[in-house]
Amino acid sequence: MPSIICPLCRLALQRDEKAWHCENRHSFDVAREGYVNLLPVQYKNSRDPGDDAQMVQARRDFLQAGHYQPLRDAVLRMLAPLHAQSLLDIGCGEGWYTGAFTPIAADVTGLDIARPAIRLAAKRYPDITWLVGSGALLPIADASIDIVSNMFTQLHVAEMQRVLKAHGHVLVVTPAPDHLWSIRERLFDDVRAHDPDKFLADFESGFELQSRQIVRFALNLDQAGLRQLLQMTPYAWKARPDRRAALSVQARFETEAAFSLLLFRCRNGATAQDSCRSFESALRAQG
């Protein structure tokens, strides 16, 4: 089981049924649903960071309906041959993808900054370790994870490298250039292609790109599915309300989902000095 560490002093956390605590007597309660909040208030940038309850529920309903099942299947096919012992899913949301990782890794941990998402995940998948925490300052010990999964969330490459074992892997899933193009055409005057390569330079120094795949499939959405999709994406606040409303009343809508899957392999384990610098940099970034 990967070592969970105190977000305040970085010592290992001992797990009891009702609370986790370190030798410095920092204590973190286990919520009724089974998750643990390891995001101290001084590390928050807002009162309730991350997706709100409505976005989380929309995503849960949309994913449970199976609309993105081809993507989840492709992710599992890519990761299963790695025979991982431990997997950390950063930005796990309400856990639909994370819950599918248990057959391919013995110890699975899901982490998200949004407490509503983790609460929902913990209720549905009780056999996974669920943490409220920040990807910029992971409450995970150095060199303790085989695979880090990062799907549709901000990349903190130095932190991912720190927690990975030597030659561990990072999976990045991001929209392909033409993802949901027909929907975006209806919502925005200027539609620009996504750029899945924009972060590759961040991985160059410590990782090699081991494999790459584009996954695309048709979506034939009824009105409920379309509304859920609009609510769970950044379109919920980026699009003009009148355009979003006009689109959401359609009885059916056809579009295409397209994703870029990139699997990176860590060249070397992070040194203790690298880890210290990463931690100090993250602390300064948190203010």
> Which residue numbers belong to the known binding site?
6, 9, 22, 26, 68, 94-95, 179
Q: Are 31 and 39 in contact (CB under 8 A)?
A: no
Q: What DSSP designation does 119 have? A: H
The torsion defined by the Cα of 112, 127, 105 and 30, in degrees rounded to 10, comes to: 40
Is residue 105 helix, strand or coil?
strand
By residue count, the chain amounts to 287
Residues annotated in a binding site for S-adenosyl-L-methionine: 68, 94-95, 179
DSSP for 160-191, please give it: HHHHEEEEEEEEEEEE-TTTTHHHHHHH-SS-
Q: Is the dihedral of CA 49, 52, 55, 58 positive or negative?
A: positive
Q: Write out the two tokens for 128.
A: 């996974």
Nearest to 230 by CA among 210, 215, 246, 214: 246
Binding-site positions for Zn(2+): 6, 9, 22, 26
E strand residue ranges, the chain: 14-15, 19-21, 27-29, 36-37, 84-90, 105-112, 129-132, 145-151, 164-175, 207-222, 252-266
Buried b (16+ CB within 10 A) or exposed e, 54-83: ebbbbbbbbbeeebbebbbebbeebbeebe
